[in-house]
Amino acid sequence: MGWIAAVAALGMAATLSGCGGEAGGGDVTLKLVAADYGSTDANTSKRYWDDLARAYEKKNPDTKVEVTVLSWKDVDREVAKMVKEGNAPDLAQIGAYADFAKEDKLYKVQDMVSVTTEANFLPLLSQAGEVHRVQYGLPFASSTRLLFYNEDLFTKAGAKPPTTWAELQEAAQKLKDKGVKYPFALPLGSEESQAETLMWMLAGGGGYRSKNGDGYAIASEENAHTFSWLRDNLVGKGLTGPVAPGRLDRQPAFDAFAKGEVGMLNGHPTLMEQAEKAGIKVGMVPLPGEKGKAKAAMGVADWMMAFKQNGHRKEIGKFLDFVYRDDNVLKFSGDYDLLPVTVTASQQMTDDPAHKELKPFLQELPTSVLYPVGETSWAAVSKSIKANIGKAVESKGDPQAVLDRIATDAQNAEAAE
């Protein structure tokens, strides 16, 4: 998916023992930098990682694990800075791995973890962790997206959960007629518009990649049609609320949903918890396609990767085997309403009545479509989407021209590789 909050645990310049070469014995310190999935000090991911590190150290007294937890808005940048300065961590749990793999800074997954661990990742996520058919990224957390709707607002408006774009527009109009502030919240601002964009592209039969997976297809006819429909049938009819989609970020849209100000929006499991805590009765359905259910939902994954710099391949692999045990995977997924990335943990969550609210998301994951994270050009493409896509749905916007501009940026990014 990227996802929330802020906390710095340990100093960024901590010195690692055993640097250089392949560690072969004696005490070793592994340095891990991880993203924070919590929103407050009470639910920071630091608590999870500290507990896990202490449990591992108890069983492996010759290995110490130092953990630094940073907010999502900082962690990718800080890890890149550390690597550039020659102070790479042993492990980083962040949003993207491909640039580091291209620079030959990462261990291959097959060279670290056990065969059992490697084979247990969900196939879709294992494949997404590959660069040139070699896996460098270990999926750590995943999510899918569904269309959320406020059941009470729908009841008052006499609306029904949509199964087609026409029904979605009809429901949004009924919500507007009842005075709902955001009949359909459409966050195409700079925070995470690459996600909202992909959801709608998939609903319209398109996507970021060509149908055979060979290159980008951002400016396709299907994608242009989708954003023309959004411009004319939602935004142009005043059904997306008082903030222009290009200036609406995801978190403010989520917050508005939790306040009862939004009729519908695309959301992930964390929003479900946020809204229910606020007393909102949440309904969920797949985002519809133009004439029925979309062929695929959007999936999101965040990544674990291991850097070669300090030469701790064996110790890293042993620690990762522990990280990906079912009990640890389920603990993290349960704490943050995320989806497990392994086959066995996914099955356990599916079978557990305590997680029945996550079942619709779990059902979408195996056939979902992820960002093209294995492409080193993706970071530049995502940046262009965030900067430009909101213009496509403005009243006088030209979706084809906007998509052409993003496609050109994608071509330039690929040429620069």
Sequence letter at residue 368: S
Q: Are residues 261 and 406 in the same domain?
A: yes
Residue 104 is assigned to a structural domain of this protein: yes
Q: Are residues 263 and 387 in the same domain?
A: yes
Residue 23 is assigned to a structural domain of this protein: no
Q: Are residues 67 and 150 in the same domain?
A: no
Q: Are residues 136 and 173 in the same domain?
A: no
Look at residue 26 in the predicted model and tell me its pLDDT. Answer: 57
Q: Which domain holds residue 58?
A: 28-143+300-367
Look at residue 211 in the predicted model and tell me its pLDDT. Answer: 77
- Distance of CA 97 to CAs 101, 131, 304, 388, Å? 6, 9, 8, 25
Sequence letter at residue 173: Q
Q: Are residues 283 and 164 in the same domain?
A: yes
State the residue for tokens 């620690």.
319
Token output for 272: 């479900």
State the residue for tokens 């749990």.
93
Q: Per residue of the chain (417 residues), give pLDDT as tens.
A: 443 333 223 233 333 333 333 444 459 999 999 999 887 788 899 999 999 999 999 999 999 999 999 998 789 999 999 999 999 999 999 988 999 999 999 999 999 999 999 999 999 999 999 998 999 999 999 999 999 999 999 999 999 999 999 999 999 999 999 999 999 999 999 888 999 999 999 999 999 998 776 789 999 999 999 999 999 999 999 999 999 999 999 989 999 999 999 999 999 888 988 898 999 999 999 999 999 988 788 999 999 999 999 999 999 999 999 999 999 999 999 999 899 999 999 999 999 998 888 988 998 888 899 999 888 888 889 999 999 999 999 999 999 999 999 999 999 998 887
Residue 243 is given by DSSP the state S
Q: Are residues 166 and 262 in the same domain?
A: yes
Give the total number of structural domains in the chain. 2
Query: Could you give phi then psi for residue 301, rounded to 5 degrees?
Result: -135, 145
Residue 16 is assigned to a structural domain of this protein: no
Round to whole Å and give the CA distance between 296 and 306.
31
Q: Are residues 193 and 317 in the same domain?
A: no
Residue 5 is assigned to a structural domain of this protein: no
**Of 329, 345, 367, the domain-final residue:** 367
Look at residue 412 in the predicted model and tell me its pLDDT. Answer: 94
Round to whole Å and give the CA distance between 45 and 36.
5
Look at residue 17 in the predicted model and tell me its pLDDT. Answer: 32
Residue 156 is assigned to a structural domain of this protein: yes
Residue 11 is assigned to a structural domain of this protein: no
Q: Are residues 342 and 279 in the same domain?
A: no
Residue 124 is assigned to a structural domain of this protein: yes
Look at residue 11 in the predicted model and tell me its pLDDT. Answer: 32
β-strands 262-267, 182-184: how paired?
parallel
- Is there a contact between 199 and 364 (Cβ–Cβ < 8 Å)? no
Residue 4 is assigned to a structural domain of this protein: no
Round to whole Å and give the CA distance between 144 and 125.
12
CATH code of the domain containing 341 = 3.40.190.10
Chain centroid to CA 382? 13
Q: Are residues 192 and 268 in the same domain?
A: yes
Q: Are residues 292 and 165 in the same domain?
A: yes
Q: Are residues 275 and 159 in the same domain?
A: yes
Q: Are residues 205 and 233 in the same domain?
A: yes
- As a whole number of Å, the end-to-end CA separation of the chain is 24
